[in-house]
Amino acid sequence: MIFFEMKKILPNVALWKRIIAYLIDLLVISFLIMTPLMRFTERPATFSEIFTSITSTQTITVSILVSLLSLFYWAYLEYKFGQSVGKIIMKLSVKSTLRKKLSFTQTVIRSITKLSTILIILDTLYMLYKKGNQRYFEIISKTKVIEVKK
């Protein structure tokens, strides 16, 4: 009965909305986090130099900083408001599937795979494979994305 109630209250969200929300968030992160860091760091002048710069100390340091700040962006906004900027625009929200308010730990865990392109793809493929509406890390963190009703 509880499961039935939760399914009624938390209907599935279309994947395309979630993808657009994610892309919007990437754009915001590019502007807020990556652009300031890139202004002061060495960066490849051409795309072909990307490969040779990957292992430089500065590149690795910047990557770690970008990852931590991006995680903070998603985790804090979803914890505090239930929505990141992308989700606000796409009228989506994150809810806890437990009978309590969303915690910061939950939002951190659910956002970890967003730090890596390959991980988020695998996480999303799991959701498609299971034909559900929760990524693997959403299941672990006991969270789900829903549409915000007007």
Partner 1 sequence: MNKLFKVLLFLAFLWVLSYGIAYLFFTDTTISSEDTIAVIPINGMITLNGESTLLQTSTSAQSIVDKINEASTNENVKAIVFEINSPGGTVMGSKKIANAIDNIQKPTVAVITEYGTSGAYWAASQTDFIIADELSILGSISVIGSYLDFSGLLNDHNITYQRLVTGDYKDLSTPYKELTDDERELLMLRLDAIHDFFVEDVAEGRSMSREELDKLSEGLFYIGLDSIDIGLIDGLGDKDTAIEKAKELSNITNGEVTEYAEEESWFDSFMTYSAYSSFHIGQGIGSVILNPESNQDIQINI
Q: Which residues bind partner 1 (CB under 8 A)?
A: 26-28, 30-43, 45, 47, 50, 58, 61-62, 65, 69, 72-73, 76-77, 80-81, 85, 88, 116-118, 121-122, 125
Q: State the nearest-atom distance from the C-beta of 10 to partner 1, in Å.
A: 21
Residue keyed to tokens 């990437």? 26
Say if residues 138 and 145 touch (Cβ distance below 8 Å): yes
Q: How far is CA 71 from the centre of its chain?
A: 8
Closest CA to 85 of 20, 141, 144: 20
Q: State the nearest-atom distance from the C-beta of 7 to partner 1, in Å.
A: 28
Nearer to partner 1, 37 or 139 (CB): 37
Q: State the nearest-atom distance from the C-beta of 105 to partner 1, in Å.
A: 19
Nearer to partner 1, 8 or 57 (CB): 57
Nearer to partner 1, 7 or 101 (CB): 101
Say if residues 62 and 68 touch (Cβ distance below 8 Å): no
Take residue 16 and report the two structure tokens written for it. 């395309």
Nearer to partner 1, 6 or 125 (CB): 125
Closest CA to 92 of 14, 8, 23: 14
